Amino acid sequence: MPELPEVETIKRRLATVLPGKIITQIEIQADKSFGGDPNQLIGKPIQAVSRRATILEIEFPEVSLLTHLQMTGQLIYVAGDP
């Protein structure tokens, strides 16, 4: 499980890459790993990336996605067409 400094490093990097990007697809690999309606995020631009303790917060208009890096410390981002 990533410690706070590792999560901060990941947050800082994502904060330079993600704002302005638009979510086009979400793949949920385990039903219990996502609470809510993923369709609320499709087509929405990412406004900011922040952190609450070891939880990453990806902010969209009117909704936020909270994610924990679990044991692997990985968050996979796949870039689409520019």
pLDDT at 81 (0 to 100) = 62
pLDDT values of the chain reduced to their tens digit, one per residue, 82 residues: 778 898 999 999 999 999 999 998 888 888 888 888 889 999 999 999 999 999 999 999 999 999 888 877 677 777 766 5
pLDDT at 60 (0 to 100) = 95
Q: Hey, which residues does 65 pair with through a beta bridge?
A: 58
User: pTM of the predicted model, to two decimals?
Assistant: 0.83
3 state SS for the chain: CCCHHHHHHHHHHHHHHCCCCECCCCCCCCHHHCCCCHHHCCCCECCEEEEECCEEEEEECCEEEEEECCCCCCCCCCCCCC
pLDDT at 8 (0 to 100) = 93
